[in-house]
Chains A and B, each alone.
With several copies, the nearest count.
Chain A
Amino acid sequence: MSVQKKLINDPLKVADELVEGLIEAYNGEVRMVGTRSVVKNSIPDGKVALLVGGGSGHEPIYHGLVGRNLADGAACGDIFAAPPPNIVFEATEAVNKGNGVLYLYGNYAGDVMNFDIGAEMAEDEDIDVRTVLIADDVCSAPPTEKDKRRGIAGLVPIVKIVGAASQKAPNLDELEKVAKKAVLETRSVGVSMSPGSIPATGKPTFEIEADKIGLGMGIHGEPGVGEIPMSTADELTPQMLDMIIEDFEKDDDVEALKEGDDIVLIVNSLGATTMMELLICLRKAKDYFNSRGINIHDVVVGPLVTCQEMTGISFSVTRVDDVLKKFWNMPCQSLCYTKMTGRYGDLS
């Protein structure tokens, strides 16, 4: 694929400029703090705060998950780069309302190191910080090594649920529990057909043959479990969902997905893959779960977790029990995901 014509200015300033734009997109609900953090304008005193973050370039996440009944703030890194510790610290100070801050972000070496240093800085200022890592990509490590898994589009339902829970959470311990449960119940698989490109270099993040797709590829183009021949929506969808189902089965920390379970399903585009394709795959996914007696409680479809103009799709499944369902059903509003009311809300 040739170098993309991107509508940007200085290629080295895209992260700063896009976060400026993001502030405008929120039109008064959030503000810029410190070097490059996005923080809600109204966080109630005593609220247990929720901080997300990570590299830029994956819009609408991560900073697009700040919002009503969602995260209180985000520490924004440069393109595909974890935010430096000072940005994490600045965001932490800004969201802290005296009852501690939960860090909830994708499990990448860079993010872990930088958030950890940020947490050390925050602890020096007597801010209570707890960290839960999002590690939903079943293709990035076996179930016995979940601590090595990458965080991909499963972060959307996880942050949605934890954001809702954080509104009334009595303390950091309780919120941490919800977050750990949401992470445990969330599993994702992605594929990619073609790469996105890095704005600063114009270069694609990986190469792949014209008739192949990368199964299990990560959202930065990290290799997955292997390349397979390009196939159809109806062949690929069950193949990917099987991997999710099998992962629930094989993992001793969690029950297998079974008849009668309720799930939230995310069908995500990695960038240039069209909503048309997502819908065609969703149609097949619905069949797949129907035939297993698994109930799709809610579904979100769209480009939520992207890698520039990369093509590809990922499925994420979160099993929701009554507690998680209650949090899922709350309304929320943000750049990344907005939900007016529950499934059977009062407006017709």
Chain B
Amino acid sequence: MPKESLNSAEVRDMMLAVADKIIEAEPILSEADRQLGDGDHGIGMERGMNAVKEKLTSEEPDDIGKVFMNTGMAMMSSMGGASGAIFGTVFRAGGKAIKGCEAFTAAEAATFFQAACEGVKERGGAKPGDKTMVDSLQPAAEKAAEVTDQPLPAAMAAIADAAEAGKEASKDMIATMGRAKTLGEKSVGKADAGACSVAIIVATMRDFVA
């Protein structure tokens, strides 16, 4: 049954679903990183998501923003690596922006993704086109801003499509940041590992509310 809005317990369940999907995708994510980086992205995300599950199931989910922030904190302090800081920032910055909100709707999603994207860009200095997870997160955030008046399931579907398209677009980009940058032209044709994670995260959120 489609959900028009989520309460804090549902947001927690959604994040638990995200955690499981990412853990499941570990081999895919590691392989993507092996093509362009050092091959550990899936391992790191799995470690982070296990910490998320432990954190979210050990506390009462009293605030939607805090559920996301706890997700971010759990990732940041367990993962390390570029993605620990980056994905930790996604959920910490995104969650902080909607702290205190009563329900997670398309409007909150828009606030969340835009704050997340700004936070990541500030933290890591990556611009769109640098072949990082920003290339999936930024289109998602932009689309989210356009669909605030839609029901949550439709909005999340549009956002997920944008994230997926961004990830696909990252294939054509030449890496300029992080470990892949010296690949230069050779990096063309392969999707960025972090962008793959963003696409999976957003798709799982879409499926949860659908």
Contact = CB atoms under 8 A, between A and B. Distances in A.
Interface stretch (A60-68, A84-92, A267-275): A84-92
B84 interface: yes
A222 B38 contact: yes
Interface stretch (A173-181, A201-209, A314-322): A201-209
Given A113-B82, A113-B85, A201-B43, A148 B77 contact: no
Residue of A81, A86, A87 most packed against chain B (CB within 10 A): A81
A108 B80 contact: no
Interface string A66-110: 000000000001111111111100000000000000000000111
A224 B182 contact: yes
Contact of A114 (B37, B47, B85, B184): B85
Contacts of B39: 80, 198, 201, 203, 205-206, 221
Given A78-B81, A109-B82, A110-B85, A218 B179 contact: yes
Given A117-B76, A222-B179, A225-B182, A80 B40 contact: yes
A302 interface: no
A201 B32 CA distance: 13
Interface in B103-150: 123-124
Nearest to B177: A109
B44 A78 contact: yes
Nearest to B42: A201
A312 interface: no
A10 B9 CA distance: 33
Residue of B124, B182, B183 most packed against chain A (CB within 10 A): B182
B124 A109 contact: yes
Interface residues of A, number: 37
Given A114-B85, A201-B30, A216 B80 contact: no
A225 B84 CA distance: 28
Contacts of A140: 181-182
Interface string B69-93: 0000000111111111110000000
B38 A84 contact: no
A222 B187 CA distance: 11
Contacts of A224: 182
A117 B37 contact: no
Given A85-B77, A216-B182, A225-B182, A110 B84 contact: yes
Nearest to A225: B182
Given A82-B82, A139-B182, A113 B40 contact: no
Contacts of A222: 37-38, 179-180, 182-183
Nearest to B85: A113
A220 B181 CA distance: 13
A87 B38 contact: no
Contact of B37 (A85, A86, A220, A225): A220
Contacts of A220: 37-38, 179
A86 B72 CA distance: 13
A148 B181 contact: yes
Given A77-B80, A81-B81, A84-B79, A198 B182 contact: no
B178 interface: yes
A108 B43 CA distance: 18
A9 to B, nearest CB: 16
Contacts of B77: 84-86
A221 B182 CA distance: 11
Given A200-B43, A201-B30, 10 more contacts: A82-B82, A141-B182, A201-B27, A201-B43, A203-B39, A205-B38, A220-B37, A221-B38, A223-B180, A223-B182
5 contacts: A80-B40, A84-B84, A86-B76, A109-B179, A221-B39
* A-B CB proximity, top 5 nearest: A81-B81, A110-B82, A113-B85, A220-B38, A77-B80
